[in-house]
Structure 1
Amino acid sequence: MTALDPGVGRLRAGARAPLSWWRAIRQTLDRPLAVYYLLLGAAGLLLTIGLLMVLSASSVYSYNVHDRNSYAVVTRQLMWVVIGLPCAIVASRMPLRAVRWLAWPALVVAIVLLALTQTPLGATVNGNTNWLVLGPVQIQPSEIAKLAAVLWAAHVYALKERRLGDLSHVLVPVVPVLGMITLLVVWQRDLGTALVLAAILLGMLWVVGAPGRLFAVSFAVIASLALWLASTSAERRKRLLNFTDPFADFHDAGWQPAHGLYALSSGGVLGQGIGASQQKWGYLPEAHTDYIFAVLGEELGLVGTLLVLGLFATIAFAAIRIATTTDEPFVRYASFGIVVWLLGQTIINLGMVLALLPVIGIPLPLVSYGGSALLPSLVALGLLIGFARRQPEAARALAERRPARGRARASARAGAR
Structure 2
Amino acid sequence: MPSKTAGTRRPSAARGGGRTPAPPRRPRGGGVRGLHERARKAWDRPLTAYYVIIGAGMLITGLGLVMVYSASMITALRYELVPSYFFRKQFLAALLGTGLLLAASRMPVKLHRALAYPILVGAVFLMVLVQIPGIGHNIGGNQNWISLGGPFMLQPSEFGKLALILWGADLLARKQDTKLLTQWKHMLVPLVPVAFMLLGLIMLGGDMGTAIVLTTILFGLLWTAGAPTRLFVGVLAVAGALGTLLIRTSPHRMDRFQCIGASDPGGEGAPCLQAAHGIYALASGGWFGSGLGASVEKWGQLPEAHTDFIFAVAGEELGLAGTLSVLALFAALGYAGIRVAGGTEDPFVRFAAGGVTTWITAQAVVNIGAVLGLLPIAGVPLPLFSYGGSALLPTMFAVGLLIAFARQEPAAKAALAMRRPGWGKRVGKRWKSMRRRVKKRPSGER
Band of TM-score, shorter chain: over 0.9
* 1:122 matches 2:136: yes
Matched to 1:168, the amino acid is K
| Compared CA separation, residues 403 and 49, structure 1 to 2 (3 A) | closer
Matched ranges for 1:305-316 at <5 A:
305-316=323-334
Which residue of 1 is the match for residue 272 of structure 2?
254
Partner residue of 2:13? none
Are 2:90 and 1:90 aligned? no
Cα deviation, residue 14, structure 1: 9.2
CA drift of 1:197 comes to: 0.6
Partner of 1:36: 50
Give the unaligned 5+ runs of structure 2: 1-23, 438-446
Q: Which protein has the bigger helix share?
A: 1
> Could you tell me whether the CA contact under 8 Å between 1:200 and 1:341 is conserved in 2?
yes
Q: Secondary structure at the match of 1:358?
A: coil
Question: Deviation string for 1:238-289 (max 9, x for gaps)?
Answer: 2222323351746511111000000000001111111110000010000000
- Paired with 2:426 and 2:313, the residues of 1 have a C-alpha distance of 49
Q: Is the 8 A contact 2:289 2:318 kept in 1?
A: yes
Q: Partner of 1:164: helix, strand, or coil?
A: coil
Matches within 5 A, 1:260-271: 260-271=278-289
**1:224 and 2:241 matched:** yes
Unaligned 5+ segments in structure 1 are 1-8
Count of aligned pairs between the two proteins: 407
Contact 1:242 1:249 in 2 (8 A): no
Distance apart, 1:368 and its partner CA: 0.3
How far did residue 218 of structure 1 move? 2.8
Aligned to 1:396: 414
Measure, in 1, the Cα distance between the counterparts of 2:125 and 2:426: 51
Counterpart among 183, 194, 219 of residue 166 in structure 1: 183
Deviations 1:139-172 (A, max 9, x none): 0000000001000000000001122111111001
On the 8 A contact 1:87/1:379 being kept in 2, the answer is: yes
The aligned counterpart of 2:115 is: 102
Q: Which amino acid aligns with 1:289?
A: T
Partner of 1:322: 340
Aligned pair partner of 1:157 in 172, 179, 203? 172
Aligned to 1:79: 92
Distance 2:97 2:242 in 1: 35
The CA distance in 1 between the partners of 2:186 and 2:92, in whole Å, is 43
Query: 3-state DSSP class of the match of 2:298?
Result: coil
Does the Cα contact within 8 Å between 2:57 and 2:333 map onto a contact in 1?
A: yes
How do residues 6-405 of structure 1 correspond to structure 2 at under 5 angstroms?
Answer: 17-67=31-81, 69-119=82-132, 120-136=134-150, 137-161=152-176, 162-247=179-264, 249=266, 251=268, 252-401=270-419
Structure with larger Rg: 2
CA contact (8 A) 1:107 1:148 kept: yes
After superposition, give the CA deviation of every residue in 1:310-369 in whole Å (9 maximum; x if it has no partner): 100111111111111111110000000001011110111011111111112110000000
What is the alpha-carbon distance in structure 2 between the residues aligned to residue 242 and residue 97 of structure 1? 47
